[in-house]
A = this chain, B = another copy of it.
Amino acid sequence: MLKQYLLTPGPVPVPPQVALKEALPIVHHRTDEFVSIYKDISEGLKYVFQTKNEVYTLACSGTGTMEMAIVNLLSPNDEIVVASCGNFGERWIEIAQSYGIKVVSVSVEWGEVVSPLQIEKTLKENPNIKAVFTTFVETSTGVVNDIKSIGKIVANTNAVFVVDAISGIVGQEFKTDLWKVDVAVSASQKGFMLPPGLAFITFSQKAKEMVKMSKLPKFYFDIKKYKKFYLKNQTPFTPPVTLIVALQEAIKLIKAKKLESFWSDCKLFSKATRKGMQALELKLFAKVPCEVVTAAVVPKDLGEKIVEILRKKYGVFIAGGQGKLKGQIIRFAHMGYISKADLLAGFACLEMALSELDTKNIEKGKAVAAVQEELYRD
């Protein structure tokens, strides 16, 4: 009966009014009722993505729409640039290589952000590059990349610009069209405040032209199939209707509160979280921290232990480090349906866990006070 607090960078807590929609009777997907729901979410997704182009909804994880971007844009032996700065950036490389795509890597150390200048230089040196792939918010390290600057650079070339915006979207400012992002992908279990199971993708006109030339094999992820059914507000394959009905409710909440208000909340929460970490004398890991998750370096490889104590003893779920960062960092999320009180509870328990591990002289209440001060400044 330990009550749980989910402060992980996906999945995130789902508002009860959204979660309950999943329990409603099934809507059949070939009916007027579904058409009307699909039309509504399609319009809503354009707002969330800040695009005038169609946004397609699929049954898969975010990785599925990442693969969808690759198989619909490219042909065997095409060359692309991947600018990676963490675990999810590397996924672009893995997917591309699975399809025989040549990858020019412009990767940086984990914790750093990718360099727009280096991307510009690489595009000049490799005029055959078909596309540039990067990550908006790299949750494995907690950084946010300068998508706007990279977008300007790629827009001046024949290449298209593809962004993994799985984490970050809704949480912090992201403008697909204005920032000249040609393909943006996302998924339901982050800023959308939904359970996992849905993923999203949108293509610009420039990207659509490239789709026409693509020769990589595909079926389930074939954009042409989704486009055909999108025109009649349906999907080519049976969609996860309960999640889509929940999506409709989540979009209603996002529209009512407005994106700008989500952005300013996350900005405040991230600032407060950084203050809390500093009060605990935990060094921030990200060179340019994003606003949806905060990564902090923990002493003596204690990451896994801290995460475990928080879960088992306090019911507080934060994330540890992924891949080569395992044990070395903790990641504390503050996006979506996470409140100020959740953050304070999280920090109070983090103080207790660190205190139990006795690695530093933890002054109880100090981090909480730092967070309080920042959150309730007005």
Contact = CB atoms under 8 A, between A and B. Distances in A.
Interface stretch (A151-159, A216-224, A354-362): A216-224
Nearest to A320: B30
Given A220-B63, A238-B61, A6 B28 contact: yes
Contacts of A197: 59, 197, 240, 242-243
A195 interface: yes
B24 A240 contact: no
Number of identical monomers bound together in the oligomeric complex: 2
A238 B98 contact: no
A121 to B, nearest CB: 29
Contact of A29 (B11, B20, B99, B219): B11
A32 to B, nearest CB: 8
Interface in A207-228: 216-222
A99 B217 contact: yes
A16 B13 CA distance: 22
Given A240-B195, A242-B197, A219 B98 contact: yes
Contacts of A61: 59, 220, 237-239
Contacts of A14: 25-26, 242
Contacts of A100: 217
B29 A19 contact: no
5 contacts: A11-B26, A11-B238, A14-B242, A59-B61, A94-B219
Given A22-B242, A100-B217, A216-B217, 7 more contacts: A19-B22, A28-B317, A30-B319, A62-B238, A95-B219, A197-B242, A220-B221
Interface of A: 4, 6, 8, 10-14, 16, 19-20, 22-26, 28-31, 59-64, 67, 94-95, 98-100, 187, 189, 195-197, 216-222, 237-243, 311, 317, 319
